Amino acid sequence: MADDAMLKFVARGQEYPAKREAELRAEDFREIADRYAVPEAEAQAGRCSQCGVPYCSVHCPLHNHIPDWLRLTAEGRLREAYALSNSTSTMPEICGRICPQDRLCEGNCVIEFSGHGAVTIGSVEKFITDKAWDEGWVEPVRVGPARGQSVGVIGAGPAGLSAAEYLREMGYDVHVYDRHDRAGGLLTYGIPGFKLEKHIVMRRVARLEEAGIVFHTSFEIGRDATLEELRAKHDTILIATGVYKARGIKAPGVGAAGVVEALDYLTASNRKGFGDAVPAFDDGSLDADGKHVVVIGGGDTAMDCVRTAIRQGAASVKCLYRRDRANMPGSQREVANAEEEGVEFVWLSGPEAFDGTDKVTGVRASKMRLGAPDASGRRAPEVDPGGAFQLKADLVIKALGFEAEDLPRLFGSEGLGVTRWGTLRTDGKTMMTSLDGVFAAGDIVRGASLVVWAIRDGRDVAAHMHAWMRAKARVAA
């Protein structure tokens, strides 16, 4: 009986899958938490209070049917739980791993509000779909009858891949172009394996290839073709290129060797994980082994850099952030993981200059204090006079966030409208850019965001592109 299986949140405590010991996990790039066994997943799902208006679903960008698949899990109906969870998401096992659940579904669970600890929604979601892959329940993409119309998707990140899957299901010919040699976007080359193991991403890509989606990798729009050339080839285009222009630091010595960009560093590390030859890693420039590492920034990217440096065998790893712990953008869960693994956080501190003639040898920094709130409502950091200090460093990683590249110039399409932040301007109702039949989704529209929002955009934009192509086909008939 359903009711017997549910509402166990008072008698049964919250239990996430056990994390491996910090010393052990710092030795490899495997995910840090074990997976639930079947009885644990069922027991944790049974803590759900089955709210009439589930705030978890409301605050999940995909509006996943969370209480329903938790109930199916608690009742041992795992295949049905998987099917339901999969019905609203193209990558549930990926979201289960890397969504900041504390700010989304779990952060809005009523059991959390009542002090009992949220249902471990993300871990159950990951469990259900991993189980489905193990059991062979994950079916091939069901490709609809051919429509004779084709779509070009620029960017094989979560937004592009999700749209490609839905459009292929609708029977379109789908071509995905990406400048990298592997699909997946930041899932493949940004996010490290200890948060998301790469075979999880690659099996999703393989499923799309098996469905007849054609991947054109190492193909850069702007270099290998202009946007206009692509428009001539396809009935409609989706731009899902993400944001890749790294924010800089203006400080003396910032150009010294050994001061590197976060994404270059993370990409090199992820490539080594695939077994690729990476000259800039192999010659030591992007390898933290034996070095004193200072990472500058307080977001998810900075957290990924510090924890990667620990795994590469750094002599010390410090994270310099200009605000305090309570005001950082990165996930508190990731800060706790980093601290357990040996990272030292230097809060309320910002770089002033980088020492070293041929190569960086240290960071001159200043203590900061928080002033009045700025336009965003966050308290603006300002230099605390007299608080200068110095840190030894042989590798400095800049992780200050990303902005949009100048796509109109890169794509040779001056008519492509952008916002004042450089992100693509789209019609709020149709997700179409200023160019007829050219749509956009994911970070290139939102600015740096989250995987789950990219998936949501991919789902929405596929529906808009479908409507547009049907109208086009009707006119042509």
Q: Rounded to an integer, what distance in angstroms lies between the CA atom of residue 18 and that of residue 33?
A: 6
Within 169-188, the residues that bind ligand FAD by CB under 6 A are: 177-180, 185-186
Within 65-94, the residues that bind ligand SF4 by CB under 6 A are: 66
What letter would DSSP give residue 378?
A: S
Contacting residue, 17, 61, 155, 258, with ligand FAD by CB under 6 A: 155
Helix (H) or strand (E) holding 216: strand 214-216
**125 binding ligand SF4? (CB under 6 A):** yes
Contacting residue, 66, 268, 397, 454, with ligand FAD by CB under 6 A: 454
Which of the stretches 214-222, 250-258, 306-314, 371-379 binds ligand FAD when contact is defined by CB under 6 A?
214-222
Cα-Cα end-to-end distance for the chain = 54
Sequence-separated (6 or more) residues with CB below 8 Å from residue 262: 246, 295, 297, 301, 302, 304, 305, 397, 398, 399
Sequence-separated (6 or more) residues with CB below 8 Å from residue 364: 351, 352, 353, 354, 355, 388, 389, 390
Nearer to ligand FAD, 50 or 226 (CB): 226
Which of the stretches 33-41, 76-84, 117-125, 276-284 binds ligand SF4 when contact is defined by CB under 6 A?
117-125
Which of the stretches 41-49, 101-109, 363-371, 443-451 binds ligand FAD when contact is defined by CB under 6 A?
443-451
Length of the chain: 477
Interaction pattern, residues 259-298, with ligand FAD; x per rule: CB under 6 A = -------x--------------------------------
Per the CB < 8 A criterion, the answer to whether 156 and 215 are in contact is yes
- Kindly state the smallest distance separating residue 97's Cβ from ligand SF4, in Å: 8
Strand order in the sheet with 438-440: 214-216, 173-177, 150-154, 236-239, 438-440
Nearer to ligand FAD, 172 or 402 (CB): 402
Per the CB < 8 A criterion, the answer to whether 308 and 192 are in contact is yes
Nearer to ligand FAD, 301 or 349 (CB): 301
Within 456-475, the residues that bind ligand FAD by CB under 6 A are: none
Contacting residue, 54, 67, 158, 330, with ligand FAD by CB under 6 A: 158
Which of the stretches 74-82, 150-158, 307-315, 379-387 binds ligand FAD when contact is defined by CB under 6 A?
150-158
Helix (H) or strand (E) holding 365: strand 362-373
**109 binding ligand SF4? (CB under 6 A):** no
Q: Tokens 């100048």, residue?
A: 406
- Burial code of 19-55, b = ≥16 C-beta within 10 A, e = fewer? ebeeeebbeebebbbeebeeebbbbbbbbbbeeeebb
Residue 121 binds which entry of ligand FAD, ligand SF4, none, CB below 5-8 Å type-dependent: ligand SF4
**62 binding ligand SF4? (CB under 6 A):** yes
Residue 338 binds which entry of ligand FAD, ligand SF4, none, CB below 5-8 Å type-dependent: none
Q: Rounded to an integer, what distance in angstroms lies between the CA atom of residue 299 and that of residue 14?
A: 27
- Kindly state the smallest distance separating residue 16's Cβ from ligand SF4, in Å: 13
Among 205, 162, 208, 204, smallest CA distance to 180 is for: 205
What letter would DSSP give residue 403?
A: E
**74 binding ligand FAD? (CB under 6 A):** no
Per the CB < 8 A criterion, the answer to whether 96 and 122 are in contact is yes
**205 binding ligand FAD? (CB under 6 A):** no
Nearer to ligand FAD, 75 or 457 (CB): 457
**105 binding ligand SF4? (CB under 6 A):** yes
**3-class secondary structure, 75:** coil
What letter would DSSP give residue 401?
A: -
Contacting residue, 80, 220, 339, 460, with ligand FAD by CB under 6 A: 220
**348 binding ligand SF4? (CB under 6 A):** no
Per the CB < 8 A criterion, the answer to whether 371 and 381 are in contact is yes
Per the CB < 8 A criterion, the answer to whether 257 and 355 are in contact is no
Which of the stretches 79-87, 153-161, 202-210, 313-321 binds ligand FAD when contact is defined by CB under 6 A?
153-161
Q: What is the 3-state secondary structure (H, E, C) of 341-357?
A: CCCEEECCEEEEEEECC
**183 binding ligand SF4? (CB under 6 A):** no
**104 binding ligand SF4? (CB under 6 A):** yes
- Which residues contribute to the site for ligand SF4 (CB under 6 A)? 60, 62, 64, 66, 95-96, 99, 101, 104-105, 121-122, 125, 452
